[in-house]
Every structure is written in structure tokens, then in C-alpha cells.
Amino acid sequence: MRVPYSFLSFMFPMILMGQAYIHPENNKAFLQTEVAEVHITVSQSDLNTLVGDSLFSDHHFPGVFRYESSFFSDTIQNVGFRVRGNTSRNAKKKGFKVSFNEYTTGQKFKGVEKMNLIGQHNDPSLLRYWTSLFLLNKHDLIASRASFVKLFINGDYRGIYLNVEHIDDEFLQKRFIDDDKGNLYKASWGADLNYWGANASSYSGV
């Protein structure tokens, strides 16, 4: 039995209404009052490979992360840096992922292990994604925190990016306190919405 996507989209927030969860506040990693700067430094050879032969790979390259704002500045050594996304990897303005814990176990930036830098190459306004996340959070629905940043790679300005909180087990632990039950899914290319019944265990490992 196949269930329409629109039905699942409607039911997801309804299902969550029966569970206790909290919304983490926007901290210094997700500034709402200014556009902070994110500076990534990697070797030029690694950068060439990252956007060349490794364009469609999820391999991380070592680099240095620096965050600059009027509130504070911070530098983190030995982070992982790679291209992210699916079809957006072919875009001129590519998306990137910073993994603070890729090479140093437990390393974080303001409580987050990963930073998704979304290029929004198909949105001239740069507002659609941020607006949708803002509205979901405003109406007490579970969604990533997000903020705008200026991205620099090896000193070259790459444009305005949307810094979006990564959805993983850490994301869930911050919102569902003392609740480790349930499945977390990531839709990959070619994923469908087959219905396998009402038992959550039927979807584990799909």
C-alpha cells in the first residue's frame, strides 16, 4: 500500500503532538541579528580535489574553521570539510558540510558537531528555506535551527549561505529528553514512501 506524500507531511506534526519535546534556543552558532562570517582554510591541493575528483564523494578534507561576529570569534583546528548535497553538487554555488568531530572525537562548535552550509543555488531570494524553518519553529514544530553566514574559503568570498542545523541523533537528543526510542530516516536519491504497516520496527533498516 502506498501512502501519498501530502498525507505523511500532514500526519508527521500530528504524531509529534503526543510526545514531549523541547526547542533549543538559537545560540551563538545560529545568530539571528547579524550575518556572521565563516572562514574555512584548507590546502589548495585538497580544495582542488574536493571540487574536482571528489566532487561526488563524501570524503572529508582536513581544515581550519574560524567564526567571526560582533559577539565573539572562535577558531577550531582539524575539522572535516566536504561538498554536500545531491544535484546541487553540479551547481556553481555548491553546498558544504563542516564536521567538527571528524578528526577529533567529541569536538563541537557551540554544542553542534556538524554545520551544513546550504548554497540555495535555485533560490534567488535566499529566503525560502529559512522562512520555512522559521515558521515551523514558530508554530512549535520540530525543525532545524538556521542562520545566514558569509562563507570564505581560503580567503575567497563564496557568498551568503544558510547555516542549517544537522539532523542526527544529537539533534533528537536535544529535543526528546530521556527518550531514545524510534527511527531516524534520511531520504536518499530514489527513496519511496512505501507503507509497511503501523509497527515502527517494520521500518528499521529500510
Tens of pLDDT, residue by residue over 157-184, are 999 999 999 998 889 888 888 777 777 8
**Does residue 118 belong to any structural domain of this protein?**
yes
Whether 200 is covered by a domain: the verdict is no
Domain-embedded: residue 107: yes
Answer yes or no: are the C-beta atoms of 109 and 29 closer than 8 Å: yes
Domain hosting residue 175, numbered range: 31-184
pLDDT in tens, 8-43: 444 445 455 556 678 888 899 999 999 999 999 999
Query: Number of folded domains in the chain?
Result: 1
